[in-house]
């Protein structure tokens, strides 16, 4: 990360100090800069003096406390972020800490008694993160280690709108106990607004480990934690308001889809991103929907909540008022005391529940199962926080540091006699326009990155809006004059109306940057053809690319497409690698563990 010179005009440092500082900063990368910022902030908060006594005090504290291993499995980076927070808090309390990615964890890591803090997200319909699959299979297989003498606490991250909410947290929690480890604290399952419960879990578990070690609370709490540099930067809680520069519908006339290309200004923000990162957009709910909701609840718009905010303002900006989740329905069943709703929520009706929820919103439940005389506070307490929507960034910062681009598929459909719009896509398409400013932040994704070596070939599978990050990949490689081969599989409904960024792909192919381009337009012939079909057709060549070190990427639909592409990849490895089922599966696992097979699916 290149640094500008320290300005002598406002620096309190003498010339020699300034020169030495510039020499150090010039060789540091972004992660090192972030650590240094936090370290200096913490040092300043504690008085700003480096004393010889401080390290000794820290050693005494650490020696009284056990070593902790923070073990995490993360798909998009949220679980990793919580794990890093746990590590930092543990260090601040005086623990010796090891941060361990499940991608790197082996049976040997669990040979000796270990104090574990386990943080794991759930991918898709109850699956482990891609990089955690190997460890998940290890602890659930015939060679699973005995964990007598180990201690643990587990935290799961998930989304309660999915049926298998926090499934991996539940499974790891149960399995570690089955293998003999002692659970020292109850598992916590976190929804999309996970920050506060995760922070509370960290402190609870650290206090419990301190208690078990015999250390006093004072010893455990010695030393204030260094402030994180990220706390003063733009984030979910403190977003940057970016101006919309342009918004263009990418589909041609006659398409059944509405896909928007949106360009935002980052000038004066200081925001930096990399290909593979996502942009968080903090939306507002549809005002007309909120007004109808309040009307059906018979709650006045001007009713004040305990926070002092009017209920309408809070429902617009703070609460999820559309998506149905099991926790909301359970609370509503209690409020309405409705037997039919309780039946739908029962374990016996689990399959029916999934079908019943599909296409319904909170307003439909309020209509079907009304509650008389409901006050605003009780209603908002039943809701979860309105989550930001993450979009794969469709541009390269190095190609244009003043802008960030998004590819947004607008959600519109009819269900149960009512027109439905996606919360964030509706906000971006119907309620803001060029010149307006919207709240955003960068959400880093360490598990969806270009190879460090620009000569490494890459294979990209991105149907529909899943092509967004690959536009960023190509811009990045174009800007860097990268020598690596690039192969794109793109698919959508119709060639003439839905070939997103067609001119750019053809231009990159003409100039030689895009080595191969294979497309599948499902509705242009009687028999539907999808990207997985094109992948199978090119199986021999694709396997040859893998054998020479290619990285394989999938972005897009996680329910069907990603699974179908995965199966196609497995079949190709079996056929063209001459491997049996087990060996082919291991080949794919090795790709995942080495981060040569990465997915950004939703």
CATH number at residue 324: 1.20.990.10
User: Cα–Cα–Cα angle for 189, 235, 77, nearest 5°?
Assistant: 50
Q: Is residue 374 marked as binding?
A: no
Lowest mean pLDDT across 49-63, 446-460, 544-558? 49-63
pLDDT classification of 17: cutoffs 50, 70, 90: low
What pLDDT sits at residue 131? Answer: 87
Average pLDDT, the chain: 89
Please check the confidence at residue 602 and state whether its pLDDT lies above 90: no
Residue that terminates a domain, selected from 175, 198, 213: 213
To the question of whether residue 17 is assigned a binding role by annotation, the answer is no
Q: What's the CATH code of the domain at 188?
A: 3.40.50.360
Give how far Cα 307 sits from Cα of 195, 286, 601, Å: 20, 22, 37
For position 46, what pLDDT does the model report?
A: 39
Same domain, yes or no: 76 and 204:
yes
Average pLDDT of the residues in 46-52 = 41
Confidence band of 232 (pLDDT split at 50, 70, 90): very low
The proportion of the chain whose per-residue pLDDT surpasses 90, expressed as a percent, equals 80
160 is in an annotated binding site: yes
Max CA distance (Å), the chain: 78
Q: What pLDDT does 16 receive?
A: 60
Tell me: do 168 and 92 sit in the same domain. yes
Q: How confident is the model at residue 24 (pLDDT cuts 50, 70, 90)?
A: low
Residue 42 known to bind ligand:
no
Q: Is 123 annotated as a binding residue?
A: yes
Asked whether residue 485 is marked as a ligand-binding residue, the answer is no
Query: Are 475 and 395 in contact, with CB atoms under 8 Å apart?
Result: yes
Q: How many domains does the chain have?
A: 4
509-516 — which CB contacts under 8 Å span 24+ positions? Answer: 513/474, 513/477, 513/478, 513/482, 513/486, 514/474, 514/486, 514/487, 514/488, 515/457, 515/485, 515/486, 515/487, 516/485, 516/486, 516/487, 516/488
22-26, 32-36, 81-85, 100-104: lowest mean pLDDT where? 32-36
**Which pLDDT does position 268 carry in this prediction?**
93
Bridge-partner residues for 69, per DSSP? 98, 116
Dihedral of the alpha carbons of 9, 13, 15, 17, in degrees to the nearest 10: -140
Mean pLDDT to the nearest integer, 237-247: 97
Residue 41, pLDDT score: 43
As a whole number of Å, the end-to-end CA separation of the chain is 32
pTM of the model: 0.83
d(CA 321, CA 328): 10
pLDDT tens digit string along 473-525? Answer: 999 999 999 999 999 999 999 999 999 999 999 999 999 999 999 999 999 99
The answer to whether the annotation marks 88 as part of a ligand binding site is: no
Report whether 429 belongs to an annotated binding site.
no
pLDDT in tens, 79-106: 999 999 999 999 999 999 999 999 999 9
Same domain, 75 and 207: yes
71 plus 198 within the same structural domain: yes
Q: pLDDT of 354-377, one tens digit each?
A: 899 989 999 999 999 999 999 999
- Assess whether pLDDT exceeds 70 at residue 25: no
Residues 364 and 499 grouped into a single domain: no
Q: Which helix (DSSP H) or strand (DSSP E) does residue 243 occupy?
A: strand 240-249
Annotated binding residue at 217? no
Is 79 annotated as contributing to ligand binding? Answer: yes
Tell me which residue of 565, 394, 570, 556 sits closest to 474, measured CA to CA.
394
**Residue 263: domain span:** 240-283+388-443
Burial of 426 (0-12, 13-18, 19+ CB in 10 A): buried
Q: In the 3-class helix/strand/coil scheme, how is 127-165 assigned residue by residue? A: ECCHHHHHHHHHHHCCCCCCCCCCEEEEEEECCCCCCCC
pLDDT (tens digit, 9 = 90+) per residue, 307-350?
Answer: 999 999 999 999 999 999 999 999 999 999 999 999 999 989 98
Q: Is the pLDDT of residue 226 over 50?
A: no
| 390 marked ligand binding residue | yes
Residue 166 annotated as part of some ligand binding site: yes
Clarify whether residues 431 and 533 are in a common domain.
no
Indicate the helix (H) or strand (E) that contains 247.
Answer: strand 240-249
506 is an annotated ligand-binding site residue: no
Task: Answer yes or no: is 588 within a domain.
Answer: yes
Whether 71 is in a domain gets the answer: yes
541 and 429 in a single domain? The answer is no
- The helix (H) or strand (E) run that includes residue 556 is strand 551-556
For residue 121, what is the enclosing H or E element? strand 115-121
pLDDT for residue 372? 92
Location of structure tokens 């690959």: 470
CATH code for the domain of 428: 2.40.30.10
More confident residue, 510 or 14: 510
Six-digit token string for 560: 């069907």
- Is 555 known to sit in a ligand binding site? no
Residue 602 assigned to a binding site: yes
Residue 562 lies in a domain: yes
Does residue 37 sit within a domain?
A: no
Q: Is 74 annotated as a binding residue?
A: yes
From 97-111, 146-160, 202-216, 251-265, the region with the lowest mean pLDDT: 202-216
Q: 244 pairs with which residues across the strands? A: 264
Q: How far apart are CA 558 and CA 467, in angstroms?
A: 14
Instruction: Decide if 522 is inside a domain.
Output: yes
185 and 118 in one domain? yes
pLDDT for the residue numbered 223: 41
Identify the H or E element spanning 73: strand 68-73
Domain with residue 518: its CATH number is 3.40.50.80
* 164 marked as binding residue: yes
Same domain, residue pair 198 and 101: yes
CA–CA distance, 290 with 305 (Å, rounded to integer): 16
- Annotated ligand binding at 548? The verdict is no
Same domain, 262 and 126: no
Residue 60 known to bind ligand: no
Structural domain ending residue among the three candidates 197, 213, 229: 213
200 and 301 in a common domain: no
Assess whether 508 and 560 both reside in one domain.
yes
């Amino acid at each position: 990360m290149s640094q500008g010179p320290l300005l002598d005009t406002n620096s309190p440092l003498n010339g020699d100090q300034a020169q030495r500082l510039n020499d150090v900063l010039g060789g540091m990368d972004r992660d090192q800069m972030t650590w240094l910022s936090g370290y200096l902030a913490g040092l300043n908060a504690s008085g700003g003096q480096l004393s010889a006594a401080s390290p000794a005090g820290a050693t005494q504290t650490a020696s009284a406390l056990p070593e902790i291993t923070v073990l995490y499995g993360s798909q998009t980076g949220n679980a990793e972020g919580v794990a890093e927070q746990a590590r930092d808090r543990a260090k601040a309390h005086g623990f010796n800490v090891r941060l361990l990615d499940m991608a790197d964890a082996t049976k040997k890591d669990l040979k000796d008694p270990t104090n574990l803090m386990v943080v794991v997200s759930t991918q898709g319909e109850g699956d482990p993160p891609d990089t955690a699959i190997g460890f998940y299979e290890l602890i659930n297989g015939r060679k699973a280690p005995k964990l007598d003498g180990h201690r643990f606490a587990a935290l799961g991250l998930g989304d309660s709108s999915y049926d298998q909410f926090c499934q991996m947290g539940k499974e790891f929690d149960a399995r570690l106990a089955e293998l003999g480890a002692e659970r020292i604290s109850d598992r916590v399952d976190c929804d999309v607004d996970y920050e506060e419960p995760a922070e509370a879990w960290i402190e609870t578990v650290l206090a419990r480990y301190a208690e078990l070690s015999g250390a006093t609370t004072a010893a455990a709490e010695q030393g204030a934690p260094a402030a994180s540099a990220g706390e003063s930067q733009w984030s979910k809680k403190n977003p940057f308001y970016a101006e919309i520069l342009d918004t263009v519908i990418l589909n041609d006339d006659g398409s059944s889809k509405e896909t928007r290309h949106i360009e935002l200004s980052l000038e004066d923000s200081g925001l930096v991103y990399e290909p593979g990162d996502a942009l968080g957009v903090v939306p507002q709910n549809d005002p007309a929907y909120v007004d109808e909701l309040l009307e059906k609840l018979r709650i006045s718009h001007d009713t004040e909540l305990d926070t002092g905010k009017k209920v309408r303002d809070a429902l617009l900006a703070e609460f999820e008022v559309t998506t149905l989740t099991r926790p909301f329905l359970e609370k509503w069943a209690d409020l309405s005391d409705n037997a039919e709703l309780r039946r739908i929520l029962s374990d016996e009706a689990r399959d029916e529940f999934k079908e019943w929820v599909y296409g319904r919103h909170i307003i439909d439940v309020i209509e079907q199962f009304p509650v008389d005389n409901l006050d605003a506070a009780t209603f908002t307490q039943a809701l979860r926080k309105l989550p930001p929507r993450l979009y794969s960034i469709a541009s390269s910062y190095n190609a244009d540091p003043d802008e960030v681009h998004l590819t947004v598929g607008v959600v519109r459909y009819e269900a149960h006699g009512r027109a439905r719009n996606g919360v964030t896509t509706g906000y971006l398409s119907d309620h803001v326009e060029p010149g307006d400013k919207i709240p955003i932040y960068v959400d880093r994704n360490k598990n969806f990155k270009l190879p460090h070596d620009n000569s490494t070939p890459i294979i990209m599978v991105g149907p529909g809006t899943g092509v967004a990050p690959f536009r960023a990949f190509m811009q990045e490689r174009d800007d860097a004059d990268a020598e690596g081969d690039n192969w794109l599989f793109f698919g959508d409904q119709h060639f003439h109306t839905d070939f997103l960024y067609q001119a750019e792909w053809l231009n990159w192919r003409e100039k030689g940057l895009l080595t191969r381009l294979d497309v599948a337009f499902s509705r242009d012939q009687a028999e539907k053809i999808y990207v997985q079909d094109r992948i199978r057709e090119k199986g021999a060549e694709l396997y040859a690319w893998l054998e020479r070190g290619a990285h394989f990427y999938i972005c897009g639909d996680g329910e069907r497409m990603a699974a179908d592409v995965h199966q196609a990849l497995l079949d190709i490895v079996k056929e063209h690698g001459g491997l049996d089922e087990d060996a082919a599966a291991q080949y794919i696992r090795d790709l995942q563990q080495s981060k040569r097979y990465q997915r950004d699916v939703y």
